[in-house]
């Protein structure tokens, strides 16, 4: 094979050719600035952005005016968390989040903590799910915001968004969710799920990198945000900066395709994941990380006893492209904070591997990768001094 089998779709995905085709005219022919309202080039770009905004809003049950374009989910998270914190200072300085969140949520919370805000970081259960009773007990009169991600980027666990949204609204607290990994993969509706702020990105769903969005509820309640970027008053004053039509058009098309093909694609990808997992269970001492069923269809996160995670990844090179966790922290030598939150020991957290199965993977690839992983694990174990491990068993998916 000329290139590795790609199984790291939680890190990023290739741009779908259908998405690319919609983007190309806006690089060379219809290249105008959407803010240029005095001539045809600007009108064309403005119309393209308007259609994209409408498409994204329709996909999540919103209205176009509630979509704010950003550079990606990281910026959207920062705008949601910092923007709400600043806008609601008169209500309080208390924010609640979860220990398995992406650093694009945890780091803004830590920043606010340095400014005097109080941050409650809730634990998760062994399967990665949030305990709703703990969340309810954590909410106070001065709580401004609850931030819980829709789908975890490492273990794929899907949090009960509708239940969290209902709890937050009963308590008069804003509910933000980082849905970077969820958009186009699971159904999302901001009305039925009572979501007030939702962060999105394109490159996890076969769209271009560098473009994202933040949904901001306009009524019941009307959410206020303090802008974090100033300089032109774009996006109704919430996020200044020239809009980039090729990326925006590509983002909307990627989401449209994802929503349209979700049912069939989820079924096919889930079958590939289960095929890979079934074959890997011939290994002793293999542990599934995260809830066995309440997870993204293409996610398989495992800890394997008796091997070093980095050695396993190196052993799979250059044949398989996988990771041990979040791409945003892949250079960090510390064990995954997500796996430690599940109660995994540091050794098991280090010995983890994350498979992100996507649109163009095949059954033959699953079989080949399983054989390669099994061969590599057995080789590593055989060369480890004192390789008599007390395996604690296999968990079911």
For the annotated catalytic residues, the residue numbers are 328
Reported as half-sphere exposure (CB side, CA atoms, 13 A), residue 297 has a value of: 20
Of 95, 138, 139, the C-alpha closest to 117 is: 95
Of 263, 59, 299, the C-alpha closest to 158 is: 299
CA distance 145 to 348: 33
| Cis amide linkage into residue 223, ω under 30° from 0 | no
Of 226, 201, 199, the C-alpha closest to 112 is: 226
CA distance 99 to 121: 6
Reported as half-sphere exposure (CB side, CA atoms, 13 A), residue 55 has a value of: 21
The answer for 213, left when phi > 0, alpha when psi is -120 to 50, beta otherwise, is beta
The tokens for 13 are 């995905």
Element (H, E) at 312: helix 309-316
The tokens for 176 are 């933000």
């Amino acid at each position: 094979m000329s290139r590795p089998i790609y199984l790291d779709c939680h890190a990023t995905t290739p741009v779908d050719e259908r998405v690319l085709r919609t983007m190309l005219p806006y690089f060379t022919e219809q290249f105008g600035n959407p803010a240029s309202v005095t001539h045809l080039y600007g009108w064309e770009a403005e119309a393209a952005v308007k259609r994209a905004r409408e498409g994204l809003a329709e996909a999540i049950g919103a209205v176009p005016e509630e979509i704010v374009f950003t550079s990606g989910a990281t910026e959207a998270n920062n705008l949601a968390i910092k923007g709400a914190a600043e806008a609601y200072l008169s209500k309080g300085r208390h924010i609640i989040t979860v220990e398995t969140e992406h650093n694009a949520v945890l780091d803004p919370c830590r920043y606010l903590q340095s400014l005097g805000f109080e941050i409650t970081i809730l634990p998760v259960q062994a399967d990665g799910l949030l305990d709703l009773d703990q969340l309810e007990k954590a909410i106070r009169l001065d709580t401004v915001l609850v931030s819980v991600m829709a789908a975890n980027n490492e273990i794929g666990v899907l949090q009960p968004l509708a239940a969290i949204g209902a709890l937050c609204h009963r308590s008069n607290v804003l509910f933000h969710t980082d849905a970077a990994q969820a958009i186009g993969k699971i159904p999302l509706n901001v009305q039925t799920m009572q979501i007030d702020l939702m962060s999105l990105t394109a490159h996890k769903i076969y769209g271009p990198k560098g473009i994202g969005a933040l949904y901001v509820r306009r009524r019941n309640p009307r959410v206020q945000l303090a802008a974090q970027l100033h300089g032109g008053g774009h996006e109704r004053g919430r996020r200044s900066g020239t809009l980039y039509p090729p990326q925006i058009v590509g983002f909307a098309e990627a989401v449209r395709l994802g929503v349209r093909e979700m049912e069939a694609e989820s079924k096919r990808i889930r079958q590939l994941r289960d095929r890979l997992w079934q074959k890997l269970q011939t290994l002793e001492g293999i542990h599934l990380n995260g809830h066995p069923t309440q997870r993204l269809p293409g996610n398989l996160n495992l800890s394997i006893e008796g091997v070093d995670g980095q050695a396993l990844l190196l052993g799979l090179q250059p044949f398989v492209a996988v990771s041990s966790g979040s791409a945003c922290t892949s250079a960090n030598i510390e064990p995954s904070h997500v796996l430690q939150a599940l109660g995994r020991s540091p050794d098991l957290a280090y010995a983890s591997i994350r498979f992100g199965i996507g649109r163009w993977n095949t059954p033959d690839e699953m079989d080949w990768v399983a054989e390669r992983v099994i061969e590599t694990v057995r080789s590593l174990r055989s060369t480890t001094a004192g390789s008599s491990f007390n395996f604690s068993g296999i968990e079911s998916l």
